[in-house]
Chain A
Amino acid sequence: MLAFTGFTNVRWGTEIDVFSGSRHESDAAEFETRGVTFAAYLA
């Protein structure tokens, strides 16, 4: 999707489990959902 919308030089950060261990766990943990940060430039 990033390439489709015109972005290049994509960099990805480390994935972090931001759901497990929260007070009310949900399906987010069940689907192995992770937080991640990325950067890219508009071509």
Chain B
Amino acid sequence: MECSVVPANLDREQLRASIQEKYTAVADTPELGFHFHTGRPLAAMLGYAAAEVDLLPRPAVESFAGTGNPFTMGRLRPGETVLDIGSGAGFDTLLAARQVGSSGRVIAVDMTEAMLGRTREGAQALGLANVEARLGYAEALPVQDRSIDVVISNGVINLTPDKVAVMEEIRRVLKPGGRIQIADIVVHLEVPQDARDDIELWSG
């Protein structure tokens, strides 16, 4: 069986650089406003419990830029090993770490070291010793085969040019019977090829 996905004709390194620049700006200057909602208003829109958001460090909340709420698909269980792909400043990572507790752990993968630094700072501020931040790409996850119970991700896979490769990586790292709880985007109108090939439109 073949999976047919129309590839975009673009320079992947350029795309990654553009996305890194955009989301670093979200983290550094969230008050500027972007083409998507951010921060606490977005979290409320997506159904995150205010009481849980209130517990998170301010930088993780203010730079939150997801497209959904992976936890609406079910809370994580104590002891589970979770992978957060494209973890940004750590909003979902920190919530996940609280849910799985000290017997579980969360591996946060992001392609930007600055974002990983914020995740580590957030975990330290909350006294969470079960968070590990790793530099890497969604298409080449720095994670062992069959080691993950749950993969979460929020608004990230749409930013990757090779989505089949990402899903194959997710399959590789999940334990048999493991699950995904992913938020992303769907597009209801056909996007023309010239728009698919425009890096500016990918990153906003």
- Which of B50-58, B70-78, B101-109, B112-120 forms contacts with chain A? B70-78
Q: Does B127 contact A (CB under 8 A)?
A: no
Contact of B182 with A38 in the complex, beta carbons under 8 Å: yes
Report the interface size class on chain A.
20 to 34
* In the bound complex, CA of A39 to CA of B191 (Å): 25
Instruction: Kindly state the interface size class of chain B when it binds its partner.
Output: 35 or more
| Sample of 29 A–B contacts (CB below 8 Å) | A4-B164, A5-B3, A5-B164, A6-B171, A13-B68, A13-B72, A18-B36, A22-B36, A26-B201, A27-B195, A28-B185, A28-B204, A31-B188, A31-B189, A33-B187, A34-B185, A35-B46, A35-B67, A35-B184, A35-B185, A36-B183, A36-B186, A37-B181, A37-B182, A38-B181, A38-B182, A41-B177, A41-B179, A42-B179
Binding site for B on A (CB under 8 A): 1-2, 4-7, 11, 13, 15-16, 18-19, 21-28, 30-42
